[in-house]
Structure 1
């Protein structure tokens, strides 16, 4: 169903929500969206948190009201911004269109120069939806996590550089084994190409419903990645001998666990709706980006392989590419 059709059913003007990167320059894309919206009877709103980042006439609302009003989201940034937008509406999934103001961009598909065409397709319903599951984490001690839903991964890492993460894994209340490692990555299929991949874990098809658990620098216990079913209940028991553990959800610091704590993780299917305008093209580009990451060359060294007359205008050899956001 299109954003417009969904709103028509409610008797309301179609409402698009903006989620923007906290520091990257996105003014041009915001202007494009507002200019387009004025001629297509579409209302644009943003979060109070982003008020100072939005130029132009845009109403801002607290997060709860923002989530309740939007029929679709446009995320301006990189994959990190896209993940944040998806987490925002995980309890009430709506189509999320990613506009790449980042670098590699595995999730985001649209570039700023094609944004206007993408908006027209979004509102008319000329797109497909790529469904994503998210991991829902909770601390059994009752202490809430600052961020508890992750579309990429939940990572348990040792705090500082001393000691090791030591924990027991139970699946469906059955003892599975133990880990002693620098960090443990619990990933979704879509997140399998992130930290899990860097740690040597398997790439899992986004169409699969599964949980991947991969140790980083394993010293004892389970030393390889395991793949569990979507309905499996995962519990991670921090051993009394473990170093203090920091929990990150999609790269966001979320909790500090002490020995004796128990973290539970489950997969919630169909928690995210990513807009795809050309799913086949996007999949091919993602595979190419993954293959480039495997090459023993930095971005600037790859550029040196292209004849100077064929390089993009003004493309000098840049430094190391910063982390996408």
Structure 2
């Protein structure tokens, strides 16, 4: 069968570009039915110098390889949705990228051989979060790590009154900088810095953490079929943010709903060691 492989290398990273070139050369030399395509930024790199495509056009490919840190993989996941992703780790922690650069060529060969033999790849499904207005007038891009709703700014005088409801039942209400809803994947990111709990990536759960609340409730872990509603008031403006990038300006009073998105992210290849990753955080 024909196999389409996309390769996205971290920008301004010579190691990532060199590895991308090695993988391209391997795929084009050893496989007749494999087409290897890089993203536009990678294609402009001195080590590559070939035409590329927008990362979003790799949605629906048989495999996309992300070379860099967790931030690179988050970007790739946002663009390609449920397309299988292999993460090659050039960062420090690597909760999402499990493959060391020296093992990347072998892992890619194994995956492409499996694709040619079976026509598909199976991997670990990672839930994403969908945030939208209560009236469904707008929807943010799905978040692999977290959705944050906060007032005009962080810090003194910048918060808002936030009412939190879980499946229609009020959990907390009061003045806070904001509220953060995270996946287990995102529990080690922004959630952790706000005092939220660590949650094993295999758990079917969502994490609800208030941010600098005047009279806050403890962080809450809920099931993935839970609908969380966040109502913002007593502020001139507020924001809903998906994975720190997709931002929506809010005009309080207003309500944001957060649920699990329909399409998860699929990670293929070996999985990262969660405990080893925690040790690197310290």
Shorter-chain TM range is: 0.7 to 0.9
What do the CA deviations read for 1:104-137 (whole angstroms, capped 9, x no partner)? 2211112222221121122123986221010011
Q: In the aligned structure 2, how far is the partner of 1:71 from the partner of 1:179? A: 47
- 2:278 matches 1:290: yes
Which one of 241, 248, 257 corresponds to residue 255 of structure 1? 248
Q: Which residue of 1 aligns with 2:70?
A: 79
Instruction: Give the TM-score of the pair, scaled to structure 1.
Output: 0.75
Report the RMSD for the aligned CA atoms in angstroms: 2.5
* Aligned equivalent of 2:211, options 201, 216, 219: 216
The residue aligned with 2:224 is 230
Q: Which runs of 5 or more structure 1 residues have no equivalent in the other structure?
A: 1-7, 295-325
Structure-1 residue corresponding to 2:160: 165
The alignment partner of 1:167 has SS state of: strand
Please identify runs of 4+ aligned residues in structure 1 that moved more than 4 A: 48-51
In 1: Cα distance, 2:166 partner to 2:213 partner: 20
Is residue 203 from structure 1 mapped to residue 198 from structure 2 by the alignment?
Answer: yes
1: CA distance, partners of 2:141 / 2:255: 14
The count of corresponding residues between Structure 1 and Structure 2 is: 272
2:172 match? 177
Deviations 1:54-99 (A, max 9, x none): 853655334554313x111101111011112122222xx2221111
> Are 1:27 and 2:4 counterparts?
no
Equivalent position of 1:88 in the other structure:
79
Structure 1 residue 28, shift from structure 2 partner: 0.5
Cα distance, 1:64–1:100 mapped onto 2, change above 3 Å:
closer
Cα distance in 2, alignment partners of residues 290 and 269 from structure 1? 29
Distance 1:64 1:105, change over 3 A: closer
Aligned with 1:201: secondary structure? coil
Give the TM-score normalised by structure 2.
0.85
The range that moved more, 76-85 or 117-126, is 117-126
CA contact (8 A) 1:44 1:59 kept: no
